[in-house]
Structure 1
Amino acid sequence: MARIGLSDVADAAGVSEATVSRVVNKRGVVAAETRKTVEDAMRRVGYSRGTLGNLVLLVTPGLVDPFFAVLSDRIAAALGLQGLRAVVCSAPVGGVQELEFVSAMADAGMVGAIFVSASNTLEDADPAVHRLLQARRIPFIGVNGAFEGVDAPTLSTNDVLAAELAVDHLWSLGHRRIGLIAGPIGNRPSDRRQQGFLDAIRSRGGSLDDGLVVRHEYSIEGGMTAAGRLLEQEGATAIVAASDEIALGAIRAARRLGLDVPRDVSVIGYDDTLPLEFLDPPLTTVRQPLSRLAQAIVPVLLRQIQGRPVDSGELLFDPELIIRASTAPVRVAG
């Protein structure tokens, strides 16, 4: 049986072979209607692009956390609509696996890479990853963190605004001893949440006690440990957490101390990817704009793949405060 080629697709679609080639290889500009016509013709005649020329690597620090799983899934779906195939690789931030994945996928012919809160979020990250991509002329994008000193586009949730929204809500409820549980030191998004938190407290004339900011792991256990310190040693009446998992740990710590949420302590999470409305109490949180992020990433990557100019600065997306039942007015003694 003869192999189906570009000329067969061109005949079926009623376009030139050059147009089919641009659709297949993601090069140049093709009108959306023409692209759909070519894609339909490819399916009808049984043309297969193979694996080369349409692979995109998604690097995440893990898929156990619902935030990374949901965001990766939505990015993969958006890539699929453009004929690109996502290969999701889970690698510890700063570990050697990330470089191994990137190297292997570069050899496999990937056309681009997307770093979803991976080494792009880490201070003093190994530069070998982005240097390899630059040397191979493979475009890449950072999500929620930029590679330091690297000319590559970045799309991020506005972490400074996220902290402002949380503090503003708690301040309006009368809380003045507000604690922050942020991620590990050296994690850029957490650094920015801390800065946004401090700026928000400072602008309201509040206390800037060092003890009211605790950096710990993104986990329930990290939240429990940090919240215990904030509640027992610092007398916090409200806690802003850098993730929903940390917030769940903070609620557990409060209850082990005999405190009620939200009567005695208010808690705010971050992400809104868990079914938080079904918790007890339903968790107030700052929602990251996952769908908008995922939809915006793909056009930027496509322009890079096509050799068109892109803005190498950071594009910030506004989060949204979702008020539920884990926050309440500060309890007045007596």
Structure 2
Amino acid sequence: MPDAASPHRADTTSGKVGLSKVAARAGLSEATVSRVVNRRQGVAEKTRDAVEKAMAELGYERPVRGQLVAIMMEHVTNPFFADVAERIEAALAPHGLRTLLCPAFPGGVQEPAYVDAMVDKGVVAVVFLSSSNTVTMARTRTYERLRLRRIPYVGVNGVFADGVAVPVYSTDDLLAAELAVGHLFQLGHRAIGMASGPAGNTPADRRVRGFLEAMDRRALSDAHRLVVRQSFGVEGGQAAAQTLLARGATAIVAASDFMALGAIRGVRRLGRSVPGDVSVVGYDGSAVTEFVEPPLTTVRQPADRLALEVSRSVLALAGRREVPVGELFFDPELVVRATTGPAPGRA
């Protein structure tokens, strides 16, 4: 961003001086330009387009200090997503932006309600942190509302249902599944099961696809029978584990750390041990997984790199600078701890 002492920066942040130039270029009043700059309602789309064009031609950057970035997220209590949100906050705060966490069930009514309430409150960008952007059939009114008001938005771990090209930053779920299956295969496991989230959830669907491809590369047949779809929580992991063990699985790849912890509980309630009888691999890599007993083997998402790129994108978009659109994938990392071991009989 331009230096605070530069002539351009002084001109664009000096209130009426900057607005007067934009108004003159657009042929409109300063009051109208102010409404567009601050993304207020009551401005015709044609008028808004004229002001946006004038701003682009003059290189005008919207002032953002003291304004809000909304973070839509379902998993407020999930340590991984809380970590990403905290890192985004830390990266944006030095630039004068504040974050607002908006707990919303993906595809539910909360997201549109939040957007309707915030579009006139100085929101300069919205981050969909594994929220409705993970639902393949999500309603698109929220995104349409944001585009109408020229409020940029980005996604984490899932593209948007409306198909509009915006920045999206995702962990490579196919590689994550390959890392987990490859690790268990090297330990001698052949009956490897997958405990994944519900169908229609983009990360869950991708992790299942990656799992099946990894199994197929190793000529492990009947992999589809060893996929169980459940909720992402502890209870879903427990139920999935009990089903998978009934089908003969000696190892479980879980689609989240919480599911993995639930799987461990399910294994133990059936009188079996982890990793002696059954190995379990989680996914997310939140810090708490190091301190459970036994410490959880997991595939760690790169929270630091995801948060950094999201923050850079938000800062650029808030300043009306272009950023690359489409989905950018980040490599996960296998963290081997104590919940995986040799397959029974192969110690």
Band of TM-score, shorter chain: 0.7 to 0.9
Q: 1:16, CA displacement in angstroms? A: 5.3
Correspondence 1:32-47 to 2 at 5 A: none
Paired positions, count = 299
Q: 1:106, CA displacement in angstroms? A: 0.9
SS in 2 for 1:200: helix
With over 3 angstroms needed to count, the CA separation of the structure-2 counterparts of 1:55 and 1:326, relative to structure 1, is same
Which residue of structure 2 lines up, in the alignment, with residue 306 of structure 1? 319
Q: 1:51, CA displacement in angstroms? A: 8.4
Deviates more, 1:214-223 or 1:77-86: 77-86
With over 3 angstroms needed to count, the CA separation of the structure-2 counterparts of 1:197 and 1:155, relative to structure 1, is same
2:342 to 324, 329, 332: 329
Which residue of structure 2 lines up, in the alignment, with residue 127 of structure 1? 140
Using the size of structure 2 for normalisation, the TM-score is 0.81
Using the size of structure 1 for normalisation, the TM-score is 0.84
User: 1: CA distance between counterparts of 2:332 and 2:104?
Assistant: 26
Which residue of structure 2 lines up, in the alignment, with residue 198 of structure 1? 212
Which residue of structure 1 lines up, in the alignment, with residue 71 of structure 2? 58
1:216 aligns with 2:244: no
Correspondence 1:106-121 to 2 at 5 A: 106-121=119-134
Unpaired runs of 5+ in structure 1?
1-9, 28-48
With over 3 angstroms needed to count, the CA separation of the structure-2 counterparts of 1:51 and 1:78, relative to structure 1, is closer
Which residue of structure 1 lines up, in the alignment, with residue 46 of structure 2? none
User: 1: CA distance between counterparts of 2:11 and 2:227?
Assistant: 55
Equivalent position amino acid for 2:284 in 1: D
1:156 aligns with 2:170: yes
Report if the CA contact (8 A) 1:63-1:90 is conserved.
yes
Q: 1:75, CA displacement in angstroms? A: 0.9
Q: Residue by residue, what CA displacement relative to the aligned partner does 1:77-132 show, whole Å, maximum 9, x if unpaired? A: 11112221111111111111111111211111211110000100001101001000
Deviates more, 1:94-103 or 1:201-210: 201-210
Equivalent position amino acid for 1:129 in 2: T
Correspondence 1:1-334 to 2 at 5 A: 15=5, 18-20=8-10, 22=12, 54-148=67-161, 149-232=163-246, 234-332=247-345
Report if the CA contact (8 A) 2:65-2:95 is conserved.
no
Q: Residue by residue, what CA displacement relative to the aligned partner does 1:222-251 show, whole Å, maximum 9, x if unpaired? A: 01111000001x100000001111001111
Equivalent position amino acid for 1:223 in 2: G
Equivalent position amino acid for 1:294 in 2: A
Equivalent position amino acid for 1:226 in 2: A
User: 2: CA distance between counterparts of 1:72 and 1:23?
Assistant: 29
User: 2: CA distance between counterparts of 1:75 and 1:246?
Assistant: 25
Q: 1:52, CA displacement in angstroms? A: 7.5
Report if the CA contact (8 A) 2:297-2:339 is conserved.
yes
Equivalent position amino acid for 2:158 in 1: G
User: 1: CA distance between counterparts of 2:159 and 2:89?
Assistant: 21
SS in 2 for 1:86: strand
With over 3 angstroms needed to count, the CA separation of the structure-2 counterparts of 1:166 and 1:189, relative to structure 1, is same
User: 2: CA distance between counterparts of 1:287 and 1:333?
Assistant: 27
Equivalent position amino acid for 2:133 in 1: N
Report if the CA contact (8 A) 1:177-1:207 is conserved.
no
Report if the CA contact (8 A) 1:176-1:207 is conserved.
no
SS in 2 for 1:314: strand
Equivalent position amino acid for 2:317 in 1: Q
Equivalent position amino acid for 1:61 in 2: E
SS in 2 for 1:57: strand
Equivalent position amino acid for 1:59 in 2: M
With over 3 angstroms needed to count, the CA separation of the structure-2 counterparts of 1:21 and 1:75, relative to structure 1, is farther
Report if the CA contact (8 A) 1:202-1:208 is conserved.
no
Unpaired runs of 5+ in structure 2?
19-61
Which residue of structure 2 lines up, in the alignment, with residue 42 of structure 1? none
Q: 1:307, CA displacement in angstroms? A: 2.4
Equivalent position amino acid for 1:68 in 2: F
- Output the aligned Cα RMSD: 2.3
